[in-house]
Structure 1
Amino acid sequence: MTVSLNTGLVGGGTVGGGPGTSGPGSSGLPAIGDWTSFETLRALQEERIAPMVRHARNSPFYEKRLEPGQSLATVGLTQKRDLRDSYPFGMLGVPRERLATYHESSGSTGNPTPAYFTEAEWTDLADRFIRKSVPIGPEDTLLVRIPYGLVLAGHMAHWAAMRSGATVVPGDCRSLAVPYSRVVRLLRDLDVTLTWSTPSESLIWVAAARAAGYDGSFPALRALYVAGEPTSSARRRRIEEILSAPVIEEYGCTEVGPLASDCPQGRMHFWADRVLPEIYNPATGDIAAEGTGQLVITPLYREAMPLLRYNLEDVVDLQYEDCPCGWKLPTVQVLGRLGQGYTVGGRRLGQIQVEEHVYRLPADHGVLFWRARAEQDRLVVQIEVPGETGGEASASLAASIEAELGVRCAVSAVPEGTLVPSRLLAQRLDAMKPRKLFGPDEDWEHAILRG
C-alpha cells in the first residue's frame, strides 16, 4: 500500500532568513504570516490531518492499528513504548532507501526510542529550527554545545545554521576533545555570537571562565538558544543578567524535532502549523484542543515516521490566545514530566519550584549552583556562595521556600567549587550536568552527571 503525501518538501536550496520567511528555496511549507487568525490556522491543520492518517497506514505499526478511512478523532494514543516495541523500523512510513538519517532518544531503557528522517524532512527541521525571535544569519558564529551522536538536536542545529549562512562550531558536549576550558577559549577567541545548549551549560561556562581567570563574560554573545531541560523564569533571568544576552528557550523532541520557541515578547509558541497539538487528561481519557494536561502531538508533514496522537507525557499548558507578537500560534508552558518530583511534608515538589526560589536570591550573592534533598518532613538545600554572604543567602532562601512552598527547609551555604568542583572545569572531561533535586535515600555527594 502506497499513499503519496504530496507535501511539497524539497531537499535543496536555502532556508529563509528569519521568523515567518518562506523565500526562494525554502521548504515550501507554511510560514508564519501565511495565516491571519486561529480559524485559518485550524483550516490549515484540517487540510493536513486526513492525508497524514492515510499515510500512517504505510507503516507496519499503523497498518495493523488503523482501518481504511479512519478519522484522527477515533485514533487511540501512540505511546513511547509503542516506538520502543517497534524498534528499529516498525514505524517506517517510506521505503528504507529514502531515509537520510537515523536517531535515537537519549536515556532509553531496554529497546531505544528510534527516529528517522528523509532528506526532504531535514529541510523542514531546519525551517522550524531557525524560527527564532533572534534569528540566525551569515554574520553569526554558532557554538553547538548539545550532544551529537545519535541525538537529533546537535545535528539539526548544525545543519540549519549552515543553511542560514552562519559559521558553526561543533562543540559536542560529549566529546573529550572539547572540555570546558576549550569551550571558554572558543567562546572568547572566535567571538561566538549564538550558542545552542542546555541552560545548565551556560552557567558552567561562567564558572569555567572564572576558574581560568576571566570575568565570566563573553562580550560577542547576542543570544543563547537553550533546550533539553526545564528552566525556571528566575534562572533564565539570572543567565541573561550574567551574560548580558537574551535566553531563547526551545522545546522539541528527537522523534519530531522543534515543537516551540520564544517569540519577541518572550512567550513560547507551539508550531501548530507543522504539528497538531492536543491535551490529554489521563484521569478521564478526554482529549481537548487546549488546556492543561499531557501533550499529544500529530506531526502534519512527517514522512519517514508518521505519528498519530503521540503522547510525549510532558505536562503542558496550551492556549490559543492572542499575543502582541502577532504570530497567531498557541502559547505553551512546559510544566514538567508526569511523576517527576518528590513528596515533602505531604506536598509534591519539583525541581522548577525549588529553582525559582534559588535564583530569586539577589545576584550579588553569586549563586550559580545548588542541590536539594527531599526528606520525608523537610527539604535540605545547599547553595554555592563565593563571598561572605552565605548566612544571609541561606536564611533568605529558607524563608522564601517555607513561606511559598509550605515545607520545612534547611539551607546551608558551601564554598564556591564545592558542587561543581573548579578542578574539573580545567580538566579534559566530557559533559558535566549538575543534578539538583534528590530523594531521601539518594547520594547527593555525587551530584555531577557525566556523559
Structure 2
Amino acid sequence: MPNYFEPEIECASRETLREIQSQKLAAMAKRCYENVPFYRKKFDEIGLKPEDIKSIDDLSKLPFTVKQDLRDTYPFGMVAVPRSELARVHASSGTTGKQTVVAYTRHDLDVWAHSAARSIVGTGGTKDDFVHVSYGYGLFTGGLGLHDGAEALGATVIPVSSGNTNRQVQILQDYESDILCCTPSYAMYIGETVRDKGIDPKSLKVRIGIFGAEPWTEEMRREIENALAIRAFDIYGLSEIAGPGVACECEEQAGMHVQEDFFYPEIIDPVTGEQLPDGEEGELVFTCIGKEALPLIRYRTRDIASLTHETCKCGRTLVRMTKPKGRTDDMLIIRGINVFPSQIESVLLDLGMAPNYRMIVDRQNNLDTLEVQVEMNESMFADTVRSLERVEKTIANALQSTLNIAAKITLLEPKSIERSEGKAKRVIDKRNIV
C-alpha cells in the first residue's frame, strides 16, 4: 500500500490542482511585475499587464527566462523580496560562466523541504529510516535539499557529504543506513568499493537509493541495483528551481512525479517555443508558482523530457515527467548527427560493459571524429588481444547501429578513468567550434 506525505495534494483531483495553480500563477505574475525590474521590463515590452494573467491557461502569454538572465542580473537582480527576508543563498558552480545565484525565504525552504519529503516517501522511505546523504554540502543545492526533506519527514539524517568512499562504506555498514542519496555515478563507485572490499551488498541494511544531478539510463539503474542490492530511484531538481525534490519517482518507477503545486511544468519545442502535448518529447520548462524569493517565470531548463497527466498506479495524480535523456546544451552534434552521452551509456550497458566511459570528440581535416574510451571489466583484462579486438568491434558496430555514426573504440584498464564524487564528466570536446 503506497504511503503519501501530503495526500491532499499528491492525490488531488486535476480540478483542485488547476485551481491552486491558477491562483498562485496570478499572484506570482503580480509580484514579479511589482518587485523584479527584469520582469517589469519584459512585460512592458510585450504589452502584458499582471491582471492579464487570470489562470494557468494564460501561462503561454508570459515570457521565457533563461540561465543567461540570471547571470546578467548577478547576483540578486532577480530576487523579488528585500535582502532582509532571505534565509539562505545557494549558487551553481559557475564552470561555464558567472555563478547563477539562487535565494530562498523561510517559506521557500519549507516548500523545498516538503517537496523532498514527498519524494522520499514516494520511494518507500519512512520517518523511521536513517538517510545517508552523500551529495555535496555547501553552495551546491544537493546535500541540504535532501537533508531538510528527511528532517521534515521525521527521519534521521546522516550528513556524510561526498568523498572518502571507504569511509562512506564503513558508515553504511556501521550506522545501518536505510537510504542512500548521491549521484548515480557515485553510487556505482560506492558499489565498486563494496565489491572490492569483499562485502556482500545484501549484508548492508540500505534498501533505497535516491540518485540525481546527472542523466542516467535504465541500464545503469539495473547496474546500481545489482551492485548495492537496493531499489534505485531518480530524483530531479536544478539549482535555479529548487534542487533535488522538484520531481521524483515513486515505487512504480514509471516517471517522476512533479510537485506541480510549487513548480508548474511545460514541454516546449526548443526551436519554436510552442507548448507540446503529453507524450511528446521536448524541452522542459518550469514556472516557480510556489516560491517567494526567486519566482522564475517559464524557466528553460534545457533538459529533454516528456510529460503525462495520467493517474499513476501509486494513486498520485501529480503530473509525471520522464527521466531527462540529456540536455539541449549537452547534446553533441557530430557530423550533423545529434548524439547524447546517455545513448552511448545505454549501448555499453546492454553489451555487459561497465558504465565507466568517456567520449572524446575532435576535428581532423575538417571532419569530426568520435572516440569512445571504455573500461574493461576485470574478467576481460586477461583476455587475448584478438578477443579484445572482437569486443571493440562489437561495441563499434552497436554504436554505429544506434547512432548512425562511426566511432573509434579504445578499451582501457579497469579503474583507469577517474571516478567522480559528484557529477561524472563524460565528454571531452577538443573541437574549436566558434
| Equivalent position SS for 2:283 | strand
More helix as a share of residues: 2
* Identity across the alignment (%): 28
| Equivalent position SS for 1:359 | helix
Aligned-pair CA distance for 1:228: 0.4
1: CA distance, partners of 2:72 / 2:427: 31
Q: Indicate which of 169, 172, 176 corresponds to 1:187.
A: 172
Q: What runs of 5+ residues in structure 1 fail to find an aligned partner?
A: 1-16, 23-29, 422-429, 443-451
| Equivalent position SS for 2:314 | coil
Partner residue, 1:62: 39
The alignment status of 1:314 with 2:314, answered yes or no, reads no
Name the CA shift for 1:141/1:394 in 2 (closer, same or farther; >3 Å): farther
1:206-264 per-residue CA deviation (whole Å, 9 max, x = no partner) reads 22334445456662111100010000111111111221111110111122223211122
Aligned-pair CA distance for 1:288: 4.4
Name the CA shift for 1:382/1:140 in 2 (closer, same or farther; >3 Å): same
Partner residue, 1:324: 313
Partner residue, 1:93: 80
TM-score, structure 2 normalization: 0.84
Partner residue, 2:28: 52
The alignment status of 1:369 with 2:356, answered yes or no, reads yes
Aligned-pair CA distance for 1:386: 0.4
Aligned-pair CA distance for 1:319: 2.8
Whether the 8 Å CA contact 1:100–1:117 is kept in 2: the answer is yes
2: CA distance, partners of 1:109 / 1:395: 36
Q: Indicate which of 9, 19, 25 corresponds to 1:43.
A: 19
Q: Indicate which of 7, 10, 15 corresponds to 1:32.
A: 10
2: CA distance, partners of 1:65 / 1:418: 50
Name the CA shift for 1:438/1:206 in 2 (closer, same or farther; >3 Å): same
Aligned-pair CA distance for 1:413: 3.3
Name the CA shift for 1:434/1:91 in 2 (closer, same or farther; >3 Å): closer
2: CA distance, partners of 1:344 / 1:78: 29
Partner residue, 2:345: 355
Whether the 8 Å CA contact 2:302–2:329 is kept in 1: the answer is no
Name the CA shift for 1:301/1:358 in 2 (closer, same or farther; >3 Å): same
Q: Indicate which of 372, 379, 383 corresponds to 1:387.
A: 379
1: CA distance, partners of 2:415 / 2:202: 18
Partner residue, 2:261: 273
2: CA distance, partners of 1:335 / 1:136: 26
The alignment status of 1:299 with 2:288, answered yes or no, reads yes
Greater Cα shift, 151-160 or 102-111: 102-111
Whether the 8 Å CA contact 1:354–1:401 is kept in 2: the answer is yes
Name the CA shift for 1:138/1:275 in 2 (closer, same or farther; >3 Å): closer
Structure 1 residue ranges (4+ consecutive) displaced by more than 6 angstroms after TM superposition: none
Q: Indicate which of 72, 94, 99 corresponds to 1:107.
A: 94
Name the CA shift for 1:214/1:416 in 2 (closer, same or farther; >3 Å): farther
Matched AA of 2:310: E
Aligned-pair CA distance for 1:433: 5.3
| Equivalent position SS for 1:31 | helix
1: CA distance, partners of 2:297 / 2:157: 34
2: CA distance, partners of 1:374 / 1:87: 33
2: CA distance, partners of 1:313 / 1:167: 34
Name the CA shift for 1:345/1:434 in 2 (closer, same or farther; >3 Å): same
Matched AA of 2:86: L
Name the CA shift for 1:300/1:144 in 2 (closer, same or farther; >3 Å): same
Aligned-pair CA distance for 1:322: 3.8
TM-score, structure 1 normalization: 0.81
Whether the 8 Å CA contact 1:379–1:408 is kept in 2: the answer is no
Name the CA shift for 1:379/1:251 in 2 (closer, same or farther; >3 Å): same
Name the CA shift for 1:252/1:218 in 2 (closer, same or farther; >3 Å): farther
Name the CA shift for 1:235/1:185 in 2 (closer, same or farther; >3 Å): same
Matched AA of 1:54: K
Aligned-pair CA distance for 1:356: 0.3
Matched AA of 1:279: I
The alignment status of 1:198 with 2:187, answered yes or no, reads no
| Equivalent position SS for 2:306 | strand
The alignment status of 1:166 with 2:151, answered yes or no, reads no
Aligned-pair CA distance for 1:381: 3.4
1:173-208 per-residue CA deviation (whole Å, 9 max, x = no partner) reads 2xxxx4112112111221111111100001111223
1:76-104 per-residue CA deviation (whole Å, 9 max, x = no partner) reads 11121111222222222222222111111
Q: Over the residues paired in the alignment, what is the CA RMSD in angstroms?
A: 2.7
2: CA distance, partners of 1:106 / 1:378: 28
Greater Cα shift, 182-191 or 39-48: 39-48
Aligned-pair CA distance for 1:372: 3.1
Within 5 Å, which residues of 2 pair with 1:116-265? 116-132=103-119, 133-173=122-162, 178-215=163-200, 219-257=204-242, 258-265=245-252
